[in-house]
């Protein structure tokens, strides 16, 4: 194995997280957008986690105390959902349970930008978004036109570092090469498939898998890297069989199941996926 980035986890470390996910079935509370609930739940189930979409203000805080991890995705906000998100994030933080923020379309629209920025006070263990969203959340971006990013992940590197300083957590920027930042540590994850962007909810499901992986390891950077590598390898295997987006999405769920710890270790040992 080549020398290089000391922040980069080893193939064995990543495989161990994948293995723990399958054995421990972490319970992931999802407060996510209405478009992606189904694929998010199915992606979590395929990987071995247990989803629970508890997203109302009456139950959100209570459940965040017992969940293994919490995902907050602002893709389709309303006032009730925004209230539940603040309650869940605060409760997870107080209980010491990791939580992940996915700032969908933040920067482009005022309400969700304000909501997501307020959520930062609860110090998300991981922020996961594309370059526009991360820059929009941090305050330096011009904003995208929705969920698709108009910037490369590398463009958000400086914003990701600043945001990571503020939250103390990981900032993971999705792109053709994913860039994951924790303080001054940076890990890049290559691969995946353009079909992931032609399937609604694949990126949002990645956020949920980041939460699941972070729940089973004490290290949010290792958790986030594992989820990104798992998703990328599963996407490549699915795309090789199914080049059209409808069947790709189904094959991707199948491959999230099929890519176990051994498959992930073999892939990482033999490729330059992590850098």
Judged by beta carbon, residue 13 or residue 38, the one nearer a second copy is 38
Q: What are 244's two structure tokens?
A: 């059209």
Q: Are 182 and 170 in contact (CB under 8 A)?
A: yes
Q: Are 211 and 69 in contact (CB under 8 A)?
A: yes
- What is the footprint of a second copy within residues 238-267 (CB under 8 A)? 244-247, 249-258
> Which listed range, 75-83, 85-93, 124-132, 165-173, lies at the site for a second copy (CB under 8 A)?
75-83
Q: How far is it, in rounded angstroms, from Cα 272 to Cα 275?
A: 7
183 touches a second copy (CB under 8 A):
no
The one among 97, 167, 199, 217 contacting a second copy by CB under 8 A: 199
The one among 56, 140, 150, 271 contacting a second copy by CB under 8 A: 56
200 touches a second copy (CB under 8 A):
yes
221 touches a second copy (CB under 8 A):
no
65 touches a second copy (CB under 8 A):
no
Q: What angle do CA 125, 70, 79 make, to 5 degrees?
A: 105
147 touches a second copy (CB under 8 A):
yes
The one among 12, 79, 139, 275 contacting a second copy by CB under 8 A: 79
- The conformational region for residue 25 under phi > 0 = left, psi -120 to 50 = alpha, else beta, is left
50 touches a second copy (CB under 8 A):
yes
Judged by beta carbon, residue 243 or residue 272, the one nearer a second copy is 243
CB of 71 to a second copy, least distance (A): 13
SS3 of residue 80 by DSSP:
helix
CB of 60 to a second copy, least distance (A): 10
112 touches a second copy (CB under 8 A):
yes
Distance (Å) of CA 26 to CA 50, 187, 213:
6, 25, 8
Q: How far is it, in rounded angstroms, from Cα 166 to Cα 255?
A: 36
Beta strands in 89-221 (DSSP E): 99-102, 126-130, 170-174, 178-182, 185-189
Q: Are 164 and 134 in contact (CB under 8 A)?
A: no
Instruction: By CB under 8 A, name the binding residues for a second copy.
Output: 27, 33-39, 41-42, 45-46, 50-56, 58-59, 62-63, 66, 75-80, 105, 109-112, 145-148, 198-201, 244-247, 249-258
């Amino acid at each position: 194995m080549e020398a290089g980035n000391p922040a980069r986890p080893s193939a064995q470390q990543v495989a161990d997280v994948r293995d723990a996910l399958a054995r421990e079935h972490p319970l992931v509370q999802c407060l996510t957008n209405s478009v992606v609930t189904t694929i998010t739940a199915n992606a979590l189930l395929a990987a071995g986690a247990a989803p629970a979409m508890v997203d109302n203000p009456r139950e959100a805080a209570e459940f965040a105390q017992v969940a293994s991890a919490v995902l907050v995705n602002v893709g389709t906000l309303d006032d009730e959902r925004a209230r539940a998100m603040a309650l869940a994030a605060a409760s997870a933080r107080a209980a010491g349970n990791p939580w992940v923020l996915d700032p969908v379309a933040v920067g482009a629209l005022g309400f969700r930008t304000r909501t997501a920025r307020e959520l930062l006070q609860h110090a998300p263990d991981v922020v996961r978004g594309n370059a526009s969203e991360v820059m929009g959340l941090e305050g330096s971006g011009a904003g995208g036109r929705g969920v698709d990013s108009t910037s490369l992940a590398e463009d958000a590197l400086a914003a990701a570092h600043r945001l990571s300083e503020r939250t103390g957590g990981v900032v993971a920027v999705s792109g053709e090469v994913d860039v994951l930042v924790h303080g001054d540590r940076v890990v890049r994850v290559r691969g995946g498939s353009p079909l992931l962007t032609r399937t609604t909810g694949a990126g949002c499901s990645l956020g949920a898998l980041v939460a699941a992986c972070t729940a089973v390891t004490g290290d949010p950077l290792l958790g986030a890297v594992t989820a990104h590598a798992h998703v990328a390898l599963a996407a490549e295997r699915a795309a090789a069989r199914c080049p059209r987006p409808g069947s790709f999405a189904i094959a991707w769920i199948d491959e999230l199941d099929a890519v176990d710890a051994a498959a992930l270790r073999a892939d990482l040992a033999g490729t330059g996926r992590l850098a």
